[in-house]
Structure 1
Amino acid sequence: MRTDIFARLDREPEPPKIEIPRMSRHRIALFGGTLAFYLAIVVAVLVSSWLVALDWKVMLFRPYQQWPELHAFLDYYVVLGQRGPTAVMVACWLGWRSWRQHTLRPLLTLGTSLLLLNVTVGAVKLGLGRLGPHYATQIGSAEMFAGGDIFPSGHTANAVVTWGILAYLATTPRARRYLSALSATVSLGVGLTTVYIGTHWLSDVLLGWAAGLLIMLGLPWFEPVITRAEAWIFAVREQWRARRRPVVAAAARPQVLLPQPLGTRSDSGGGAGTAEAPSPSLGTAAHPVAGTRPRAHTVRSERTPVTPAGPRRPSHAERAPRTNTPARPM
């Protein structure tokens, strides 16, 4: 019996299908501009330009000491940019949508975006090897190729991608506008929070915003791969169901029970008892010889023990005369 909530969901109208974004000219122009901004920040940090000097000024200002009352709140707010908690929250919501709309595209889109994020941001982090503000060794230095992993900011890029995927998968223009504003606010706040607590340079945050935006703008190029992956998963599911159907049908088939020999019924002490009958064989009570009437046999345990006296074979005079009646079965 189904619960009321699932019965109510079945009566609700089916939500509109997700419109797949395409790489329009406007999106391509935004992608090219964001890519140019990304490369400009990398070059500015590599040559230790004015951007590196601004990083040091903000770091030496120590915002966490200027407004200490905000520190407790921002320690929790920055969790909105951590990959694990945010991915779980967004995956739960997209999993619900996938179940309601009978499609795997929301979950596959989230997985593709997170994979692109880990590959691109992780490769740049390890390749440039910049140290964070707390591990800086020389004032005014860019701290590049020193074994660090904070350039670009992973928290900022993850906030842009994880919360931006909700706007990317929105079904109506109004929902897309609201979710875009929400993702921009969250990612902006997460990036500035990392600068406030001193875990990232300002240039790390700028590059993190650009890295996340590049993934969101270039995601339509991976839509054919997502579509093929969804079709392949559904095909594998149908094959598994086809293999499982014969097994389920065989298990559900009713079994035909063969007739079993009935046990004998004997009365002992005013009560009725049923004894298990032996397997039927020729010459037994279950299969009597033709022309004879079967008789009831008592159970062996109910027979009165008799101790024989005298010789086992009776004398010739005591033998019963031979008749033409057939012998009774043993």
Structure 2
Amino acid sequence: MRTERSLTRLERVFSRLDREPERPAHIDVPVMSRHRVVLFSATLAFYAAIVWAVLITSWLVRLDWQLMFFRPYQQWPEVHAFLDYYVVLGQRGPTAVMVAAWLGWRSWRQHTLRPMLALGVSLLLLNLTVGAAKLGMGRLGPHYATEIGSNEMWLGGDIFPSGHTANAVVTWGILAYLASTPRARRWLSTLSAVISLGVGLTTVYLGTHWLSDVMLGWVAGLLILLALPWFEPLIARAEAWIFSLRDRLRVRSRRTAAAPAAPAAPPVAAPAPVPGPAATRRGPAQEPATARDPSVAARSTRPPHLAPGPHTPRSERSPVTPGGSRRPPHSDRVPRSTTTSARPLA
């Protein structure tokens, strides 16, 4: 009879979290294959085509103006409050914090810095490419348009391409790029596509971007994801350097902790006492004990309430002869005289 209790789904999740972090034996690192190069080239050509269509004020610009006059936020006002919060999924700060928290936990679990480094490289490329395009073309948004039917280029704006859309493609697409299994990659690719598509259309609904801005933002984010395999060797070298620096710091800290303590300074001997009259009578042949042993000198220091002068042991003191006889007086004895005559020798 089976008595083991089957674990629930939540208990299995917590049991996996309690396991010791371990680095996977094999990490699938994408490489810049021929298929990816062809896809990158086609996406780059589409990017240039969108920019050219806006520059020559083609049908794409006329479609931008038609959507602006349609004012979707007035056609469907009931979803306005929800889309105001949904568009936050394309803002760089909140999305970067959420994705960095997940990739940081994954880096700790797998003992690798590749997820965090890949996220940093993708965000750096996003800021450089999209930011340069925004400032270089200077297109104004629908709310600040000056002339009906114009492309509003080089007028000091910064909306072409859409930063929200490109950021949504990169930050959510990096999860699919770093997926460890094909199944997870498919699910995350679908999720990132839905989020980025919704963020782009939300900016058109709110009237903050032209449709051509959103299209160029999708293409710009996809270009960054397709170009990431070219930076994989740089990411690997950066990870190896960081780990080697960590190991050197650990070794240095262990050596510092294991180093012996500095030797204590030798005790300073007390100054030798000035010889008194008794030491002068002993002469140079007899050396006092304080000169032979510094500890005796330290112990021989007399307190201030005693008489000054060096202390000498009893064996070194000069004998003192009493002035009179030590015998008690006797009445029946006659004291000897010093003038008695000498006895005759036999």
Q: TM-score by structure 2 length?
A: 0.72
CA contact (8 A) 2:138 2:156 kept: yes
Q: Which residue of 1 aligns with 2:136?
A: 127
Q: Which residue of 1 aligns with 2:338?
A: none
How far residue 151 of structure 1 moved from its aligned partner, in angstroms, is 0.1
Q: How large is the Cα RMSD of the aligned pairs?
A: 3.0
Find the structure with the greater CA-based Rg: 2
How far residue 284 of structure 1 moved from its aligned partner, in angstroms, is 6.0
Instruction: Tell me the amino acid that sits aligned with residue 48 of structure 1.
Output: T
Which one of the candidate residues 6, 13, 18 is aligned to 1:8? Answer: 18
CA distance in 1, matches of 2:17, 2:119: 29
Q: Which residue of 2 aligns with 1:103?
A: 112
CA distance in 2, matches of 1:212, 1:161: 5
Which one of the candidate residues 221, 224, 238 is aligned to 2:230? Answer: 221
CA contact (8 A) 1:160 1:187 kept: yes
Q: Which residue of 1 aligns with 2:248?
A: 239
Is there any run of 5+ residues in structure 2 with no aligned partner, and where? 1-13, 267-293, 308-312, 318-346
Q: Which residue of 2 aligns with 1:263?
A: none
For the structure 1 residues 324 and 100, does the alpha-carbon distance in structure 2 shift closer, same or farther, using more than 3 Å as the test?
closer
How far residue 24 of structure 1 moved from its aligned partner, in angstroms, is 1.8
For the structure 1 residues 324 and 19, does the alpha-carbon distance in structure 2 shift closer, same or farther, using more than 3 Å as the test?
closer
Is there any run of 5+ residues in structure 1 with no aligned partner, and where? 259-279, 289-296, 306-311, 313-322
CA distance in 2, matches of 1:184, 1:254: 64
For the structure 1 residues 239 and 13, does the alpha-carbon distance in structure 2 shift closer, same or farther, using more than 3 Å as the test?
closer
CA distance in 2, matches of 1:227, 1:204: 35
Instruction: Tell me the amino acid that sits aligned with residue 18 of structure 2.
Output: R
For the structure 1 residues 7 and 53, does the alpha-carbon distance in structure 2 shift closer, same or farther, using more than 3 Å as the test?
closer
How far residue 231 of structure 1 moved from its aligned partner, in angstroms, is 1.2
Which one of the candidate residues 155, 159, 162 is aligned to 2:164? Answer: 155
Q: Which residue of 2 aligns with 1:281?
A: 295
How far residue 29 of structure 1 moved from its aligned partner, in angstroms, is 1.8
Instruction: Tell me the amino acid that sits aligned with residue 73 of structure 2.
Output: Y
For the structure 1 residues 91 and 70, does the alpha-carbon distance in structure 2 shift closer, same or farther, using more than 3 Å as the test?
same
Q: Does 1:46 align with 2:22?
A: no
CA contact (8 A) 1:108 1:226 kept: yes
Which one of the candidate residues 217, 220, 224 is aligned to 1:208? Answer: 217
Q: Which residue of 1 aligns with 2:178?
A: 169
Instruction: Tell me the amino acid that sits aligned with residue 8 of structure 1.
Output: D
CA distance in 2, matches of 1:325, 1:23: 102
Q: SS in structure 2 opposite 1:138?
A: coil
CA contact (8 A) 1:17 1:101 kept: no
Q: Does 1:90 align with 2:105?
A: no
Instruction: Tell me the amino acid that sits aligned with residue 281 of structure 1.
Output: S
How far residue 218 of structure 1 moved from its aligned partner, in angstroms, is 1.1
Q: TM-score by structure 1 length?
A: 0.76
How far residue 137 of structure 1 moved from its aligned partner, in angstroms, is 0.5
CA distance in 2, matches of 1:197, 1:17: 45
CA distance in 1, matches of 2:50, 2:16: 52
CA contact (8 A) 1:34 1:210 kept: yes
How far residue 18 of structure 1 moved from its aligned partner, in angstroms, is 2.9
Q: Percent identity?
A: 69
CA distance in 2, matches of 1:34, 1:179: 21
CA distance in 1, matches of 2:79, 2:119: 32
Count residues with an aligned counterpart.
274
